[in-house]
Structure 1
């Protein structure tokens, strides 16, 4: 018997060749500790870091609680019960994902401002000295971010609750537990991998947030990194802080792994799970609570943006160049992400089961968990070093760190996971027999790919392109920190206006960005149906 041919090694080398540039920022962040400014670190340790670290940890803890309650509650109500308005609220509860957290932050700061409509109405009702919280601070930041991040928990938990059926609930009830105890002791442990994954995504987004906490006046590690680089003019120290935030992200991922334990996603129930009617005051209470969350997280921000935008109707041409810059950056980054994701997917199929290819793919997909500020600092440190090397080799000064290339690199590294997931999902829909038939044709490989495989992948690639495009357009810190001077996007224009308290001027770019953000939400709703 002829021994089976060993799998080719070149896909492994090619995969790591693709992954190497994306690993360089992290490597240079670690190497940054070779140059330590003791005086600056003493200043940071005394005046900035303790409060920033405390705020960061408090924000993450509060946000975890604020997203778990509505996320799990509405997911279980949707999967288990039929209450008034459920069909509409099932997809309406996903809509807050369309609005960036920094947009919700400045909308509510404007609404809750002393001269804003809410505080003015409150004083007219209860007297001139009456006031409401202004929404600033760590608690306000956690609440506002939770309004747009709870759908992560809701979507993943709801899918798991539907999959596991009534098995867990019935098993727990048969042991004598009441409905509430059965939910906590039976349903939640069984579906833990799903809702823990959603919770981790939300917490990572909170750790990475820069725009909302800046607008709300909350000092966190992300704002401290930005201030150290652009206020204290120390890129090496900013890199050291960024490495610390990266270590915190790694700790969150480790905690997620430990929380999941050996659990696996539940198998689909073999019998249907009929929803139980929830009538009377209980059903209307669930409906009212869900409607209230949708109003606060989507309707009120969009309504306020629309009214502000209408009051400055001449502001649309002002953001025209920023909109064009945003589209151009989004298109370039999307094309780059999908190209790299396609290469990884093809290498994985050229060498199925190769651990080297799988490891390279896993490493580059971790970029989505890395905050934009960390990627920006790492990319800048690496590109500055690369400029020095190229100048020494070729005698030519390349302006890599001050060009759009730096922004494209950071955005591609951050959102490659989104494109890779979409490409892998598209490949999963192809029958293996079809791919084998394509290989048997006596035509060049590139003709087989472009003529047969690529057309079949097109729907999945379009969906992936849409998801990447919107993520790139909404990204703030990496674009803000790496962009060429004077090169604004919609997100940067929103941040600049909001930082000055110019809510009306910020309305047009925020409204445009939020409406574009509805596209992937619409796609998610279609997938859920």
Structure 2
């Protein structure tokens, strides 16, 4: 073996050795088909799966429409036009990302109840109770999820429009096309990689959602997996169903890659084109639509949470233990993800950018596209199999401890930490370190004076992003936590399943405050 091959062999082997535990929870689900088909399968095939699959596909289709319209529309308005309040709404339109979908869902369910303010106002205006729009439906779930997921499209597409320049639009106008036709013939096709990428993130988040659809009473594949395990008490059937859902996730990823094709972001100019100043009715219409969108997606939910918390201020639910459990779990998961991300980044540089190491990091990050319910079933199925195979593992009771929760969370959010860490390492230009070495700076001083200051912002960002994502994660924590070990997300879910909106408001406010951290970071990065 040559010296170069030996230099890359051990980093590649170590990278795949670290990636394997992150792949096993999803891949191990295939072993569930070695178990004889459970007796619940006829019931699932006849009563559960047709409705769940139909609702899931309808939800994805409607959500694509509801997220693309405001996402692309506001991205174009922000990148190319100047209108009253634009600088404020450039970051305010991102605020709904701070709220978990299940929080917005239970707020609007409470507002839309028969005795809530929306139905009360509807009846006061003469509307028939039967004519009030039903929120507990697939269109209602798509609308609720779109209010918190459209910023994915807005952020990515806005950046693409800013990079395009004005040459394509000018060429389309010179060919006799109007502003609208020029947009659909030139600007939108050029931004296809951006809006396809944003849409794929929205659809994957919707596939992974459990809290919002369960609160809204919409049966999807994620709720079917949960009910199969905890309602029908069949872990093998849940594992088989979860493996089938991985196929649907893979289909979304394949369609996203096909939709992108070989397209690339064109017109990468550093200076964006000058914005056209709007005035009159058109300008104020955009401002009104932006204000309405931010109001529905952020102001109304947060305001209602504050109102409910104030109404029960004398008997606020105890959230101290749940908050501590949430922080403890998030810190353990975020620290594990950050440590793994650092190891992968160092192995990549040690191997000189070896493709095998890069492929291992990519494979380890595939868990981000897998719903939390699927990972929960995969982690439990894996731990149960390990305990049966090794009696000494059974003595540790891994399947009834936090081990399963931590495994699922690390698999789910490794990609978030890995990409942020890789971005931090990009700031380490070799010329800086080489110059310091030539000047005689010792290795320890190079680490203290150059490496750590350059890496610190990116590593802190990676830690914060993973921490916030784990705080908001519901299905994996709900399904794998030890008995009686609640987090803020579980507290919210337990209160909302009983219709106790006011009691759920206080822990929801805590989650919203934590969710503002990545939004603040994203706005800071944009500026």
**Match for residue 400 of structure 1?**
398
Cα displacement (A) at 1:173: 1.8
Kept in 1: contact 2:119–2:129 (CA 8 A): no
In structure 2, the partner of 1:288 is 288
Q: After TM superposition, list the pairs within 5 Å mapping 1:424-503 onto structure 2.
A: 424-436=422-434, 449=447, 452-503=450-501
Q: CA RMSD in A?
A: 2.0
Distance 1:148 1:267 in 2: 30
Residue 89 of structure 2 corresponds to residue 121 of structure 1: no
Partner of 2:101: 101
1:137 aligns with 2:133: no
Residues 1:421 and 2:380 aligned together:
no
The Cα shift of 1:396 comes to 5.9
Q: Which residue of 1 aligns with 2:193?
A: 193
1:167 corresponds to which residue?
Answer: 167
Q: CA deviation at 1:56?
A: 0.4
Aligned partners of 1:122 and 1:130 also within 8 Å? no
Q: How far does residue 178 in structure 1 lie from its aligned partner after superposition? A: 1.5
Residue 438 of structure 1: CA displacement? 6.9
Counterpart of 1:235 in structure 2 is 235
- Structure 2: distance between partners of 1:505 and 1:450: 49
1:172–1:182 contact (8 Å) kept in structure 2: yes
Secondary structure of 1:401's match?
helix
| Cα deviation, residue 446, structure 1 | 8.3
| Structure 2 unaligned blocks of 5 or more | none
CA distance in 2, matches of 1:238, 1:313: 41
**Separation in 2 of the partners of 1:5 and 1:333?**
35
The structural deviation recorded for 1:182 is 1.1
> What's the TM-score, normalizing by structure 1?
0.95
Structure 1 residues 262 and 355: alpha-carbon distance in aligned structure 2, compared to 1, 3 A threshold: same
Q: Distance in 2 between matches of 1:341 and 1:448?
A: 22
**Number of residue pairs matched by the alignment:** 525
CA distance in 2, matches of 1:14, 1:172: 53
Tell me how far apart the structure 2 counterparts of residues 312 and 327 of structure 1 sit (CA, whole Å).
25
The alpha-carbon deviation at position 352 of structure 1 amounts to 2.1
- What is the 5 A alignment of 1:75-474? 75-126=75-126, 129=129, 131-269=131-269, 272-316=272-316, 318-391=318-391, 394=392, 397-436=395-434, 449=447, 452-474=450-472
* Number of the residue aligned with 1:507: 505
For 1:239 and 1:230, locate their aligned partners in 2 and report how far apart those are by CA, in whole Å.
12
List alignment gaps of at least 5 residues for structure 1. none
| Contact 1:119–1:131 (Cα < 8 Å) also in 2 | no
Distance verdict in 2 for CA 1:347–1:364, change over 3 Å: same
Q: Note if contact 1:191-1:265 (Cα within 8 Å) is conserved in structure 2.
A: yes
Range with bigger deviation, 65-74 or 184-193: 184-193
Using the alignment, how far apart are the partners of 2:394 and 2:524 within structure 1? 52
- 1:451 deviates by 6.9
Taking the aligned partners of 2:9 and 2:84, their CA distance within structure 1 comes to 58
Encode CA deviations 1:115-140: one digit per residue, 9 max, x unaligned: 10111122122167575224111000
- Per-residue CA deviation, residues 371-412 of structure 1 (Å, 9 max, x unaligned), is 000110111111111122221xx4862211111111111101
Q: Distance in 1 between matches of 2:201 and 2:473?
A: 16
Q: Which residue of 1 aligns with 2:18?
A: 18
> Structure 2: how far apart are the matches of 1:167 and 1:324?
55
Question: What TM-score results when the alignment is normalised by the length of structure 2?
Answer: 0.96
Q: Indicate conservation of the 8 Å contact 1:390/1:397, yes or no.
A: no
